[in-house]
Amino acid sequence: MNTSLRKLATVGAVAALAVSTITACSNDDSSAAGGDKSLEVVYWNYGPAAETGNKATADAFMAANSGTTVTLTPVTGENWGTYYANVATLIASGKRPDLMVISGEGAQFVHANNLVRPINEYLEKDAGAKAITGDIAQGLIDGFTVKNDVVTLTYGWNNMVVYYNTDVFKKAGVEPPKADWTWADFQATAKKLTADTNKDGKTDRYGFTWASNEIFPGIMPWVANAGGNLTSDDVCAATADTPQVNKAVSFLRQLITDGVSPAPMPMSDVFTRFQNGQVAMFGAGRWPIGTFLPAGFKSFDIQLYPKGDTYKTVFGGAGYPILKSSKNPDLAWEYQKFTVSEEIEKQYVGTPEKPGDSIPSRRSLAQTISKVGVPPANSDLFYDSIDKFPTLVPYPAPAKYSAFESTVLRHLQLIFAGETSVAGGLKAMQGELSSIVTC
């Protein structure tokens, strides 16, 4: 499935859907008619790529399992949250889908609302399950585990790493960063790379920038590495004004004040300026290579985010949990397993000419990215970041995610524009979030 995992990583569970409504919609009747080998899969119809990717997976499953029938049901939604709400409405109307696509941020949401059937029993009794889970980083399993219930296996994911322009580093005479670099190292490196290249008195090249329109590739890697988060562990309270968040936002604000970072900008602008050499470093997951390599741009590599008071990987992924409405859960489990099979996961590896835009969840497949020659040179770091370091779980995705995200971004814009202090801006942000992040 080629669903854009950037979307899956950056969009959270959003709907303010009444819990009682969803719970009432749940259906634990799994009695399938004898010999029934049919499945219905619902997915968020966010665009043409969603249909293409889901159809490819369904077709491959039917080809590999003679006699099975997979029906795909696209469900609309302005975001993941409204999509979840619409799936619940679908079930309430009498539909009995077997599986649904969710993002990692939605795992707690669908579990809390009794929509999904945990897969713990399958993991215990399926002879091949141990080999599968042993090939998946524990962090990816933990990210989809709620109250000891494994909601689903994730078929692909994206993390956050630092991209750097190798040509810019070489011209500036700056050594490529190493995995053990610190925030101070990063700041010094960014300063060295910042330059007025045409001597007109204006900065032409900045050391670093970040996305203004998303939290995930914006402040979260810094917040996580400062040891903080934007919500409590149970995602029931905002924690935007903690010393850890203040430290991360202050660090980024200082980069602007020092002139080594421009004002944050949309990710699409970051891509363009990075390829043009106007920005030396930025943060993202694996998805930029889907833009860079087809355009013939290969002068880049990646490194882990610099370590702050701690090191935690921020990531997002997606999976096909089995719904409690499923009439055929055993076959649904086979489908879920198929989405993490070698056949499917190879798609995420891709080729140098047509790279995947996400990271395979299976370690053995992810490790082939560098072996088959898909740039960048440090591709192994994509998986190492979650295999060898702790992760930020949960990713802050409260039910009212749209309001949460817009509030966070609005206040950050004021802070980074210098229109309010860091402490004042975060206090105001916390005040608004206190009524948005609740349980």
What pLDDT does residue 28 have? 54
Global pTM exceeds 0.75: yes
Please name the residues in contact with 115: beta carbons below 8 A apart, sequence gap of 6 or more: 22, 25, 26, 84, 87, 88, 100, 321, 323, 324
The predicted pLDDT at position 411 comes to: 98
**What pLDDT is recorded for position 34?**
62
Picking from 385, 397, 393, 379, the residue whose alpha carbon sits closest to that of residue 433 is 397
Angle CA 336–3–290, to nearest 5: 130
* Dihedral sign computed on CA atoms, order 8, 288, 264, 166: positive
Residue with tokens 């994730």: 154
Distances (CA, A) of 315 to 72, 144, 198: 27, 12, 39
Cα 103 from Cα 213, distance rounded (Å): 19
Alpha helices (H) in 173-301, listed in sequence order: 183-193, 220-225, 243-257, 267-275, 289-292
Do the domains 161-314+394-434 and 38-159+317-370 match in fold?
A: yes
Strand bridging mode 99-100 / 38-44: parallel
Which residues are within 8 A (CB) of 77 and not within 5 positions of it... i.e. 6 or more apart?
Answer: 44, 45, 46, 83, 84, 85, 86
**DSSP structure class, residue 106:** G
User: What does DSSP assign to residue 71?
Assistant: E
Can you name the CATH fold of 161-314+394-434? D-Maltodextrin-Binding Protein; domain 2 (3.40.190)
> Locate tokens 């009995």: which residue?
96
pLDDT at 26: 46
Secondary-structure class of domain 38-159+317-370 per CATH: alpha beta
β-bridge partners, 44 = 75
Rounded distance between C-alpha atoms, residue 116 and residue 108, angstroms:
10
Q: What is the rounded CA–CA span in Å between residue 163 and residue 384?
A: 15
Alpha-carbon distance of 282 to 153, in angstroms, equals 30
List b or e across 188-213, with b for residues whose CB sees 16 or more CB atoms inside 10 angstroms: ebbbbbbbeeeeeeebebbbbbbbbb
**pLDDT of res. 30:** 56
- Specify the pLDDT at position 38: 96
Q: What pLDDT shows up at residue 108?
A: 75
Closest CA to 421 of 229, 221, 209, 246: 246
Question: Of the candidates 2, 20, 7, 24, which has an alpha carbon nearest to the alpha carbon of residue 93?
Answer: 24
Q: Where are the domains of the chain?
A: 38-159+317-370, 161-314+394-434
Q: Which residues of 243-260 are buried (b: 16+ CB within 10 A; e: fewer)?
A: ebbbbbbbbbbebbeeeb
d(Cα 424, Cα 334) in Å, to the nearest integer? 52
Contact predicate 56/1, CB 8 Å? yes
Mark out the alpha helices in 329-420 (DSSP H runs). Answer: 329-339, 342-349, 363-366, 368-371, 380-387, 401-416
Element containing residue 99 per DSSP (H, E): strand 99-100
**3-class secondary structure, 239:** coil
Q: Is the dihedral of CA 25, 29, 30, 35 positive or negative?
A: negative
Query: CA 276, 279, 280, 284 torsion: positive or negative?
Result: negative
Q: What is the mean pLDDT of each run of 10 residues along the chain (439 residues)?
A: 44 33 45 77 84 91 97 86 82 92 80 90 95 95 91 94 98 96 98 95 96 88 96 91 98 98 92 96 93 94 96 92 95 97 93 90 95 95 94 76 86 97 98 93
The burial class, CB within 10 Å (0-12 / 13-18 / 19+), for 124 is: exposed
> What is the phi/psi pair of residue 153, to 5°?
-85, 140
